A = this chain, B = another copy of it.
Amino acid sequence: MNNLKDRVTIYEVAKASGVSLATVSRVINHQSNVTEETKKKVNATIARLGYKPSALAQALATNRTTHIGVIIPSANYVYISNLLYGLTESAKEKGFVLSLFVTNHNKDEAKKMVENVITSHVDGAIIFDDELEDKDIESMSSYNVPAIVINNKVVEEKIGCVYFGYEHLLKKIIANMITNKNNKPITFLQVENGGRLINRMEKACYDIHELLNRKCSTISCHDSYQKTYEYFKKYFSKNKKKGYFIASRDSIAMAVINAALENGLKVPNDVEVLSIIGTKYAHMMAPQISSMHIDLIEVGKKAMDMLDLLIKDNLKDKAYKFESEYIKRETTLD
């Protein structure tokens, strides 16, 4: 425990144990061609000097950093922390460390982060950011950094993806509701920064309505519980009629539900609410929120598994689809 000394280098270890640095290198890399005796000797001085190899120098020499760059819009959503959890679990197994690149839902930032990931010299990247277009992503592969893209279907030589099947299910749910007696006007609750997925869902919603010769509408909400809640308290007090709301997140769904209940409306008889990106909080609420669900933890694991294979040039199917599941709980009728 030499305090505040400069880093001990492999060279000092070599000298201190009377061997060449090549031998020390062999020992720390667990190579076989070293006598048990010298190995012991070297390990002893390593322990004595408290030597730790510099991952930096190793990386420079081997051209492998064991770091994975992760591009996300923000760390502050439950579904993203789920994703991160899945990623970290799988990464740890494989000996990778995650480096976080946060874009704040901003396109220029996002592009800059792609640059940063490239200079960062990671072994691979996970990209979960709606601001990035395909060409931005491809620039990555031109620098030879393999990447798995989440929530966007794109496949290239060094690029794979994990994408989500939501539209079909949403259309089915809506069609089913419309063709049943259950006949409420449908409102889609957009949100700033909703991103590609939510936009696609909105389109799906309108498409199925058009197909069935119906109309639906959209309300743009603030991406916070409190403001949306206040908005809907007013909304329902002026407007005590039935409705079916498709919320982009749990927090938005909760806001609508609580506002409706407070105005004496019944959930789900008067007001139905469906959350698109359901998290574990959906079933902690009373009433429990009906939601569409994809297990982001599994998505994270799968993405990292795929990336590992892609890095080894061993990934067969470069695109993998997660189907979402409709979990009917207590805020929808059927």
Which residue from B54, B76, B144 sits with its C-beta under 8 Å from A81? B76
B143–A7 touching, CB < 8 Å: yes
> Which residues of A (57-78) have their CB < 8 Å from a CB of B?
57, 59-60, 65, 67, 74-78
Chain B residues whose CB sits within 8 angstroms of the CB of A7 once the complex forms = 143-144
A97–B120 touching, CB < 8 Å: yes
Chain B residues whose CB sits within 8 angstroms of the CB of A74 once the complex forms = 85, 88
Q: How far is the CB of A228 from chain B (nearest CB, A)?
A: 10
Q: Given A142-B50, A143-B52, A261-B286, A76 and B82 touching (CB < 8 A)?
A: yes
Q: Given A88-B102, A99-B99, A120-B97, A4 and B56 touching (CB < 8 A)?
A: no
> Which residues of A (209-238) have their CB < 8 Å from a CB of B?
225-226
Chain B residue nearest to A122 in the complex (CB): B55
Q: How far is the CA of A119 from the CA of B29 in the complex (A)?
A: 14
With an 8 A cutoff between CB atoms, is A251 at the interface?
yes
Chain B residue nearest to A81 in the complex (CB): B81
Chain B residues whose CB sits within 8 angstroms of the CB of A87 once the complex forms = 75
Which residue from B88, B97, B116, B286 sits with its C-beta under 8 Å from A286? B286
Q: How far is the CA of A129 from the CA of B191 in the complex (A)?
A: 35
Q: Select the stretch in A162-170, A192-200, A276-284 that faces chain B.
A: A276-284
Chain B residues whose CB sits within 8 angstroms of the CB of A97 once the complex forms = 99-101, 116, 120
B285–A121 touching, CB < 8 Å: no
Q: Given A67-B99, A78-B81, A286-B258, A119 and B88 touching (CB < 8 A)?
A: no
With an 8 A cutoff between CB atoms, is A47 at the interface?
no
Q: How far is the CA of A226 from the CA of B7 in the complex (A)?
A: 49
Chain B residues whose CB sits within 8 angstroms of the CB of A67 once the complex forms = 99
Number of interface residues of A (CB under 8 A): 65
Chain B residues whose CB sits within 8 angstroms of the CB of A281 once the complex forms = 281, 284
Chain B residue nearest to A72 in the complex (CB): B88
Chain B residues whose CB sits within 8 angstroms of the CB of A264 once the complex forms = none
With an 8 A cutoff between CB atoms, is A115 at the interface?
yes
Q: How far is the CA of A92 from the CA of B47 in the complex (A)?
A: 36
B85–A3 touching, CB < 8 Å: no
Q: How far is the CA of A53 from the CA of B67 in the complex (A)?
A: 17
Chain B residues whose CB sits within 8 angstroms of the CB of A144 once the complex forms = 4-7
Q: How far is the CB of A277 from chain B (nearest CB, A)?
A: 15
With an 8 A cutoff between CB atoms, is A139 at the interface?
yes
A1–B139 touching, CB < 8 Å: yes
With an 8 A cutoff between CB atoms, is A273 at the interface?
no
Interface string of A258-284 (1 = CB under 8 A from B): 100100000000000000000011011
Chain B residues whose CB sits within 8 angstroms of the CB of A226 once the complex forms = 283
Chain B residues whose CB sits within 8 angstroms of the CB of A4 once the complex forms = 141-142, 144, 157-158
Q: Give 5 new A-B contacts, CB below 8 A, not counting A75-B81, A284-B285.
A: A5-B144, A54-B60, A55-B121, A98-B100, A254-B284
Q: List 23 A-B contacts (CB under 8 A).
A: A1-B139, A4-B141, A4-B142, A4-B144, A4-B158, A5-B144, A50-B142, A54-B60, A54-B119, A55-B120, A56-B56, A60-B60, A74-B85, A74-B88, A75-B87, A76-B81, A76-B84, A97-B100, A97-B101, A226-B283, A258-B286, A261-B286, A285-B285
